[in-house]
Structure 1
């Protein structure tokens, strides 16, 4: 089971800023532009070894720069299940604390008694600061938009009718959907062997600290990561790393469909107040 980034809970009282609005960075006039991308590890300077990983970066319908990760990385309940307008939970690049916060946590789902978060809504929304540059290219994976499954089963979080990107990849006998994932141990791929309400089970492995990290759909006929291509791959964003379970295979992922569906449902109920509403993966190189 992946570790929870409980240090962020302590950080919730560190950098309180009154008022709402876009995340602000201070004192960076002479700081080079910083690129933020999938598979970037984030942590708090007080506990650099308690980290999680970014799954996708892009923008929402309100022009905000957004990163998506796993909700169980936050832990705690004080700020769970609501929009966090205050800059009370800073997010730092684990390998560049000197830059300062790359963003602020804006939403995460309460674990609701589970060590790995709500079954279908285990995600976190981070609003990135204006100074960063979004990139679709991570260390191993290039994300080419978001996976769409027009004929797939709808996410349990979806409004009716569900959008194509809110529908799930099949895992039946005659389905051959595969995930390609990136984490500390490099890049891996594996077939989706089970789909339980948008939680994908796959042979693609991960380890502690990879929570929230990227998974893309392997487009049939496209190259697999290998020594010949520098162990790189590309495909549409399909989900984020969730946990290890007692099962075969033990690796599970939260589908992008579940995240996007819940964001749209919450945004429809409270327009303009939902960070991440209408999220789209960046096309920036």
Structure 2
């Protein structure tokens, strides 16, 4: 498992509790157990058990604990609950956040995600957009989707791994989650994304109580 770290970005908001919560969204960075912020968080939402969860790339894993950057005095705000060992077609991990420390939002830096794309796999020829900590929002057509791996012209670079992918419409970016950034390959198109279909289908194989099972993006 590569020792890169997951990334999401967070902002502090006032709260009534003894300590303020942090707002976690798609497309943002996060501080890992190793204290490095290299990757990007995908969609955030809830699962069947009502847990607050986020999805990122498995190869971003760098330690179980997830912290708010520059706010380690808060302690861990979440932990990795699952990291896929098979990363060719299922390069994803599930983070479970502490509800006493975290508030989720559908509104990321560049994308809003409040639903899953119907079927979880964008069609060949459709336009998709991704967000990542390195290259920000980029868009491009889907060239193939064989095996649930999406090859697109939406540019991604190191650091964007785990970042969210959504379908796009003629009037701009839609809010339907379609996958996460995985890698760059020697193919055309070269930018590879693991589809929401592959991720959600794989989570379902672990049962209805598994972390992330029944994932529903947050709508607030």
TM-score range, shorter chain: 0.7 to 0.9
The Cα of 1:98 is off from its aligned counterpart by: 4.3
Q: In the alignment, does 2:106 pair up with 1:136? A: yes
Aligned to 2:127, which of 178, 194, 213? 178
The Cα of 1:277 is off from its aligned counterpart by: 0.7
Q: CA RMSD in A?
A: 2.3
Which has the higher Rg, Structure 1 or Structure 2?
1
Q: In the alignment, does 2:115 pair up with 1:148? A: no
The Cα of 1:222 is off from its aligned counterpart by: 2.5
1:12 corresponds in structure 2 to: none
The Cα of 1:216 is off from its aligned counterpart by: 0.6
The Cα of 1:29 is off from its aligned counterpart by: 4.9
Paired residue secondary structure (1:63): coil
The Cα of 1:47 is off from its aligned counterpart by: 3.8
2:44 corresponds in structure 1 to: 57
Q: In the alignment, does 2:186 pair up with 1:246? A: yes
Q: In the alignment, does 2:19 pair up with 1:31? A: yes
The Cα of 1:96 is off from its aligned counterpart by: 4.4
State the alpha-carbon separation in 2 of the partners of residues 147 and 216 from structure 1. Answer: 8
For 1:240-265, what per-residue CA distance to the aligned partner results, in whole angstroms no more than 9, with x for missing partners? 00001112222100000111111122
* Runs of 4+ with >6 A deviation: none
The Cα of 1:132 is off from its aligned counterpart by: 0.7
Paired residue secondary structure (1:216): strand
Check conservation: 2:135, 2:160, Cα contact below 8 A: no
Paired residue secondary structure (1:252): strand
State the alpha-carbon separation in 2 of the partners of residues 222 and 98 from structure 1. Answer: 43
Paired residue secondary structure (2:154): coil
Aligned to 2:82, which of 82, 87, 107? 107
1:169 corresponds in structure 2 to: 122
The Cα of 1:102 is off from its aligned counterpart by: 2.1
State the alpha-carbon separation in 2 of the partners of residues 7 and 189 from structure 1. Answer: 24
State the alpha-carbon separation in 1 of the partners of residues 71 and 183 from structure 2. Answer: 26
For 1:65-119, what per-residue CA distance to the aligned partner results, in whole angstroms no more than 9, with x for missing partners? 00001112227xxxxxxxxxxxx710123464444322100001114xxxxx2x2
State the alpha-carbon separation in 2 of the partners of residues 147 and 198 from structure 1. Answer: 13
2:9 corresponds in structure 1 to: none
Q: Which runs of 5+ in 1 are unaligned?
A: 9-27, 76-87, 112-116, 150-164, 224-232
Q: Which runs of 5+ in 2 are unaligned?
A: 7-15
1:1-285 to structure 2, matched below 5 A, reads 4-6=2-4, 29-44=17-32, 46-49=34-37, 51-74=38-61, 89-94=64-69, 96-111=71-86, 117=87, 119-130=88-99, 131-149=101-119, 165=120, 168-171=121-124, 176-183=125-132, 184-218=134-168, 220-223=169-172, 233-267=173-207, 271-272=208-209, 274-284=210-220
Structure holding more strand per residue = 2
Aligned residues: 209
State the alpha-carbon separation in 1 of the partners of residues 137 and 30 from structure 2. Answer: 19
Instruction: Name the CA shift for 1:95/1:140 in 2 (closer, same or farther; >3 Å).
Output: farther
For 1:210-262, what per-residue CA distance to the aligned partner results, in whole angstroms no more than 9, with x for missing partners? 111111111x3322xxxxxxxxx442011000001112222100000111111
- Length-normalised TM-score, structure 2: 0.86
